[in-house]
Amino acid sequence: MPRPCKRRRICCLPECSRFGPVEQNAAEPQVITMTLDEFETVRLIDLEGLKQEECAEQMQIARTTAQAVYNSARTKLAECLVRGKELHIEGGNYELCDGTIPRCGCGCRCRKRCRQENNIQKGDQIV
Which residues are within 8 A (CB) of 19 and not within 5 positions of it... i.e. 6 or more apart? 80, 86, 87
* Residue 63 belongs to a domain: yes
* Residue 35 belongs to a domain: yes
User: Per residue of the chain (127 residues), what is the pLDDT tens digit?
Assistant: 887 778 899 998 999 999 998 887 667 779 999 999 999 999 999 999 999 999 999 999 999 999 999 999 999 999 999 999 999 999 999 999 877 665 555 555 455 555 555 555 555 544 3
pTM: 0.76
Stated length of the chain: 127
Burial class (CB in 10 A: 0-12, 13-18, 19+), 110: middle
Q: Give the structural domain span for 77.
A: 8-15+28-121
* Residue 53 belongs to a domain: yes
* Residue 95 belongs to a domain: yes
Whole-angstrom distance, CA of residue 127 vs CA of residue 110 = 18
Number of domains in the chain: 1
* Residue 21 belongs to a domain: no
For 36-53, the pLDDT digits (tens) are 999 999 999 999 999 999
* Residue 127 belongs to a domain: no
* Residue 126 belongs to a domain: no
Whole-angstrom distance, CA of residue 86 vs CA of residue 109 = 27
* Residue 3 belongs to a domain: no
